[in-house]
Amino acid sequence: MIRRTAHPVENHERWMVSYADFVTLLFAFFVVMFASTEADKGKARQVSASVREALAHGQISDAILNVLGRGRHDRDKHVQPDAFEALPVSARAGPVDLTRSAATLSRVLDTELRAGKVGLKLEARGLVISLRESGFFASGEDVVSPSSFAALEKIADVIQGLPNPVRLEGHTDSVPIHNSRFRSNWELSSARAIAMLEILASRYQIPRTRMAVAGYAENAAADTNDTDEGRAHNRRVDLVLLTVEGLRTEPDGAQ
């Protein structure tokens, strides 16, 4: 009896493995070529890293599409490519370095600085613009003087070009006040900070969401309270353009 030898069945689909590898590598090549043409070098680096990561873990499609902004995290978002540029400055960026802004204000406020109506200093918490009573308020009042609008416009122009949040801090000297309008220096200092916020918002279109107010009465003196000149320096509203360091003192949820 003749025993026939069974021949192994030939697998005609082996080519699909090589083909799949080739297509994957070809796709990765074109993705990297696309990324290299992007002006955003940061995105290009992200794409390259994602290609390497995806090839290693077999998830190339989702990883690459997410970096390119078309992945599952972005499928429900219909944002135009230039939507970011259309946002206001305050919505696009965090606090920036204020050295250049300090130099600009020092130049445009030269007259007010020389007259002692404005003070300017750069601190770790931010750029502090001291608006002294003599240039912005009548004694014991919280109404912003119209004669100060020219100086405020110069300051507002700088604020509008920055993303930094603004804190308006009211201060008084140590002489107690008690009249029909204000019962204490606390009320006067707070009222002046609020009045300055209202002017910046209504007249110069600084968004209210960027601003906060605080009243310190006589408890954060900038100068001595033993002389007329020192007390004059203490009666002020400090407009503070906050840095990242300054923001750490703000409540949770504030900008």
Per the structure, the count of domains in the chain is 2
Question: How many angstroms separate the CA atoms of 91 and 199, rounded?
Answer: 22
pLDDT in tens, 186-204: 999 999 999 999 999 999 9
Give the span between the Cα atoms of 171 and 8, in whole angstroms.
95
Q: Are residues 37 and 139 in the same domain?
A: no
Name the one residue in this structure whose structure tokens are 């918490």: 125
Is 189 a domain residue?
yes
Q: Pick the last residue of a domain from 47, 78, 109.
A: 78
113 and 147 share one domain: yes
Both structure tokens of 118:
């404005």
Match 């794409």 to its residue by tokens.
Answer: 47
- Element of type H or E holding 189: helix 185-202
Question: Domain check: are 48 and 140 in the same one?
Answer: no
Judge if 62 and 143 occupy the same domain.
Answer: no
Per-residue pLDDT of the chain (255 residues; tens, 9 = 90+): 555 555 555 656 666 666 666 777 777 676 666 655 554 555 555 555 555 555 444 444 444 444 434 444 443 433 333 333 333 443 334 566 799 999 999 999 999 999 999 999 999 899 999 999 999 999 999 999 999 999 999 999 999 999 999 999 999 999 999 888 999 999 999 999 999 999 999 999 999 999 999 999 999 999 999 999 999 999 999 999 999 888 887 665 555
Structure tokens at 3: 């025993």
- Answer yes or no: are the C-beta atoms of 196 and 173 closer than 8 Å: no
What is the CA 30 to chain-centroid distance, rounded?
Answer: 37
Q: Are residues 125 and 240 in the same domain?
A: yes
Q: Tell me, what CATH number does 116's domain have?
A: 3.30.1330.60
How confident is the model at residue 115, as a pLDDT? 95
- Reported as a single tens digit per residue, the pLDDT across 6-50 is 555 565 666 666 666 677 777 767 666 665 555 455 555 555 555
User: Do 32 and 99 belong to one domain?
Assistant: no
Which string of b and e fits 214-235 if b means at least 16 CB within 10 Å?
ebbbbeebbeeeeeeeebebbb
Residues 43 and 167 in one domain: no
Give yes or no: residues 130 and 190 share one domain: yes
Half-sphere exposure of 32 (CA within 13 A, CB side): 14
What are the Cα distances from residue 93, in Å, to 42, 87, 187? 16, 10, 34
Same domain, 146 and 192: yes
Residues 6+ apart with CB under 8 A from 132: 116, 117, 118, 119, 232, 233, 235, 236
Which residues constitute the domain of residue 66?
15-78
Same domain, 200 and 135: yes
Instruction: Measure the CA–CA gap between 215 and 143, rounded to whole angstroms.
Output: 16
Q: Residues 102, 128: one domain?
A: yes
List of E strands, the chain: 118-123, 126-132, 166-171, 211-215, 236-242
Q: Is the backbone of residue 217 left (phi > 0), alpha (psi -120 to 50) or beta? A: left
- Tell me, yes or no, whether 19 and 74 share the same domain: yes
**Cα distances (Å, whole numbers) of residue 241 to 20, 42, 93:** 57, 29, 14
